[in-house]
Amino acid sequence: MSVKVIMTWDIAAERDQEYFEFVIGEFVPGVQRLGLQPAEAWATIYGSYPQIQVGLIAADLPQARRILASADWALLQERLSNYVKNYSYKIVPVRGGFQF
C-alpha cells in the first residue's frame, strides 16, 4: 500500500529566494533520486498553520522508512534546515484529497 510522507515547515525569515532556489534545484530532484514521488505542495496564506506542506509518495511503508533512514535523506534534511524552521514530517496511508 502506498504511503505519503507529509512534511511541514516555515520558510526562515529573509531566506525566501535561496529557499526556492534550493527546493527547485536540489530538494525536489534529490527526493526523486531517492525514490519518492512529489505529489503536492501547499502554501498557507492565512492562519496559524505551517507555511509550507509537501506530500511525497512512496510505494510502501518499508520503502519510506528505508529512504528516511538513509544518509542521502539526512543530507537533504540538513540542507533544508538552512532555509526553514519548525520542520516536521509524518508518514500516513495515501488517500484521496487533501491530507494534513
The answer to whether 42 and 52 have CB atoms below 8 angstroms apart is yes
Collect contacts of 12-15 with beta carbons under 8 A, ≥24 apart: 12/82, 12/83, 12/84, 12/85, 15/82, 15/83
Q: Which residue has the cell 528505508?
A: 66
pLDDT for 12 beyond 70:
yes
- The string of pLDDT tens digits covering residues 23-76 is 999 999 999 999 999 999 999 999 889 999 999 999 999 999 999 999 999 999
Return the CATH fold of 3-93. Alpha-Beta Plaits (3.30.70)
Whole-structure pTM value: 0.90
DSSP 12: P
- The string of pLDDT tens digits covering residues 76-98 is 999 999 999 999 999 999 987 76
Closest CA to 56 of 82, 37, 75: 37
In the structure, what pLDDT confidence band is assigned to residue 22 with cuts at 50, 70 and 90? very high
What are the boundaries of each domain within the chain? 3-93
